[in-house]
Amino acid sequence: MAEKELNSQKQPVVVDAANCIAGRMCSQVSKLLLQGNRVTVVNAEKAMLSGNRYKTIDLYKEHLEINSVTNPIHGPFHPRRPDTILTKIVRGMLPKRKTRGVEAFKRLRVYISTPEDLKNIKTESFDYSKITRPASYYITVGDVAKQIGWKEGAKYE
């Protein structure tokens, strides 16, 4: 009985994405979301993608060329900001057409750097998702985003 009461009042979880492999971190985040937690991811631009730097950038650029044949205005729309890239990675790991997946996705917040109101809150990171090799073997999501058209510091509305 006490366990159910704890689950109904889940604490918000703040995850630091710095030096974490994006896919591994996002899988842990999606599990937390499905358990009913509110999850906030900070430092989205410092998350890492493993693999060859140039091949990763080329794959993202190829992905940007996919659009509607009849009218490209109708989509699909491809994220270029680091926070929206990570959001889309998490969304792909949730059952987004089911009610529990929709509700879980609403509990997710992803930020570039750390907002002022979250500066003094203790952040978590998953040991499983930390990088194990030198940083030169990875590319950050921020670097990929800059290569595909993100202008850092530009105001988006």
Which pTM was predicted?
0.86
Does residue 70 belong to any structural domain of this protein?
no
Average pLDDT (65-78) is 85
Residue 15: strand pairing partners: 41, 124
Q: Name the pLDDT band for 1 (thresholds 50, 70, 90).
A: very low
**pLDDT of residue 5 exceeding 60:** no
Tell me, what's the pLDDT at 2? 41
- Number of domains composing the chain: 1
CA–CA gap between residue 28 and residue 155 (Å, rounded): 30
CATH of the domain at 117: 3.90.1180.10
What's the average model confidence in pLDDT over 115-136?
A: 90
The DSSP element (H or E) to which 92 belongs, if any, is: helix 82-92
Distance separating alpha carbons of residues 70 and 91, to the nearest angstrom: 27
- Does residue 4 sit within a domain? no
Rounded CA-CA distance 153/109 in Å is 19
Give the structural domain span for 58. Answer: 11-64+75-147
Return the pLDDT at 3: 44
Site of tokens 């290569």: 147
Whole-number pLDDT of residue 11: 73
Tokens encoding 76: 């699909």
